[in-house]
Amino acid sequence: MNLSFKTVALIGKYKTPAIAEPLLRLAAFLAGKGAAVVVDSLTAEHLGQHPYRVLSLAEMRGAVDLAVVMGGDGTMLNIARTLAPFGILLVGVNQGRLGFLTDLSLDSMKRSLTAMLQGEFVTEKRMLLSVRVMRKDAEVCNAVAFNEMVVHRSNIDSMIECEVRIDGDYLYTQRADGLIVATPTGSTAYALSAGGPIVHPALDVIALVPVCPHTLSNRPIVVSGASEIEILMHRVGEVHVRFDSHTNFDLQLHDRLIVARHKEHVHLLHPVGHSYYHTLREKLLWNKSL
């Protein structure tokens, strides 16, 4: 068989021993198709004895054509941020709950991956956010987010207060429990729970969604993906910035956050016939009768 992907990496949900059996089953299947199988080093800790090459995520640069991520959306978010600069295509096998990013099931993964190895697939490019925290003109934090960046309070007794500018133009001074800056991918995550719009992932836009704003006229706004968003902290208390619910950083008074589209993108692989609208209907239960 003339394979579209010669070397396939398998990555499982972190610290989940139950992933071993289905992942080894998939590894044997792919090897039987003629693919060279690589296993992520952290995943390998739960697999016991196996014949497959073990690489860290960093070592996969230039060595892997396709990465199959077995877990939930949280696992995919973490892996995608790391592998995006390497240009490695990603496909997800869902073992979580919603699975907006991991659209293969355990039942369908062999059939779908067989077709993908034969060149039958569609690719999708997804935006990442680059976030810098500036303190007295010095950069004190630099992070990448796939879903969203969130400024939020940890002290329930006070709100955050921040000034927001888009490409240098003053937008508003926000008093709220928090502020979400989301990619189209992140529009179906925390931003959706906070009343933000669902944004098709093909759009080059960024959404700003306040969390419980003090002024009810402060509504979500969608801006160009080419925009630079500046957030100046006027009131903090115990306030953090969080990236994809994964990394936190404590903010101080007068810190400036600079948010922009990251130069790299995540490249997802889907089966032929994949439909984002079908995913919405299925995951949000829009096809259920009331």
Q: What is the set of active-site residues?
A: 73
What does the DSSP assignment read for the chain? ---S-SEEEEEE-TT-GGGHHHHHHHHHHHHHTTPEEEEEHHHHTTT-S-SSEEE-TGGGTTT-SEEEEEE-HHHHHHHHHHHGGGT-EEEEEE-SSS-SS--B-TTTHHHHHHHHHTT--EEEEEEEEEEEEEETTEEEEEEEESSEEEEEES-TT--EEEEEEETTEEEEEEEESEEEEE-TGGGGTHHHHTTPPP--TTS-EEEEEEES-SSTT---EEEETT--EEEEEEE-SSEEEEETTTEEEE--TT-EEEEEEEEEEEEEEE-TT--HHHHHHHHTTTTS--
- Rounded CA gap, 180 and 58, in Å? 30
β-bridge mates for residue 250, sequence order: 240
